[in-house]
Amino acid sequence: MRFVGGKIDALLGDYLKPIETNWQPADFLPDSAQDNFLEEVKLLRESVRELTYDYVAVLVGDTITEEALPTYESWLMDMEGVDQSNPQNWTRWIRSWTAEENRHGDLLNKFLYLSGRVNMRAMEVSTQYLIADGFDIGTGRDPYRNFVYTSFQELATNVSHRRTATLAKQAGCPQLSKICGVIASDEMRHAKAYKAFVKQIFEVDPSEMMLAFEDMMRKKIVMPAHFLRETGVKIGQTFSHFSDAAQRLGVYTTTDYIDILDDLLADWNIASISDLDDAAQRARDYLMALPARLRRIAERTKVPTLEYPFSWIA
């Protein structure tokens, strides 16, 4: 952590944008200080009419996932090797990353509020539950496992926001499409950062990094909102309905999960990393064979058709 952390200040400019010139939620929303605000809100509400039930449900789930940012920041701050009293180095990365991420939930939340399609109170209850329930992603305080997780997760959110952008455009909602698009591009930048951290760790500690990667993939990468719930619904059940809806829409599917794994294997040159001890070589073999194995399983899984009434949808 000291080795990679020492380079963080130099890397920051590659993976984060300056605050003054970065986009803000207000850039994509009707301006409530202007006289035409109500007119713009009316147009916004008309534009979302064609969005399907599953689409709105997925967008709400995505928003809640983004809104649980306090969990993610505090989790990362607690990693071994992070010293919160030093404002530079890892602390600087985590705080600046959080500051960028914070705009995602903010923007989506305001858009949904204006859309008139959502029961905001039910959604807010789910958000509060999710932050209160936290998560258990199987990384512990280990930065190696955490960076595998964040690399994977930023790519997964990139895919899902990119797909909701495309679907919004098809449904005649260019404003929402733009919103999902700018968020997706943030996620890609963040993915590049986390992947770069892992790549550097592979250079200096290949065996331990390989074992951490294997361990995370054996456990399966759970989504950060896996504890998602609604009033009167058991913990995790809402999440599985949300993920079914995402699968039905093609916003995030089992195939995407496998494609992301393929990406990571290629980006980190897993096939050609040398200097591995015996256990790490076995871990590498497991990882290299994993995409094909998951594809065989995926062929047999059906996309769930059951439609579930979410309390979030007005």
List, as residue ranges, the binding site.
66, 101, 104, 154, 187, 190
Min separation Cβ 158 and Fe ion, Å: 8
Between 63 and 207, CB nearer to Fe ion? 63
Of 142, 186, 230, 244, the active-site residue reads 186
User: Which of residues 101, 106, 214, 244 is near Fe ion by CB under 5 A?
Assistant: 101
195 binds Fe ion (CB under 5 A): no
104 binds Fe ion (CB under 5 A): yes
Min separation Cβ 154 and Fe ion, Å: 5
Catalytic residue check, 241:
no
Q: What angle do CA 40, 43, 46 make, to 5 degrees?
A: 155
The stretch among 66-74, 219-227, 241-249, 304-312 that binds Fe ion (CB under 5 A) is 66-74
Looking at beta carbons, which residue is closest to Fe ion?
104
Min separation Cβ 288 and Fe ion, Å: 27
Catalytic residue check, 124:
no
Q: Which residue has the tokens 């949808």?
A: 313
Using N-to-C axis directions, what is the helix angle for 278-300 and 206-219, rounded to 10°? Answer: 30
Catalytic residue check, 208:
no
Between 151 and 243, CB nearer to Fe ion? 151
Of 126, 120, 121, 192, nearest to 154 by C-alpha is 192
User: Which of residues 54, 106, 142, 187 is near Fe ion by CB under 5 A?
Assistant: 187
Catalytic residues: 23, 66, 101, 104, 154, 157, 186-187, 190
Binding residues for Fe ion, rule: CB under 5 A, are: 66, 101, 104, 154, 187, 190
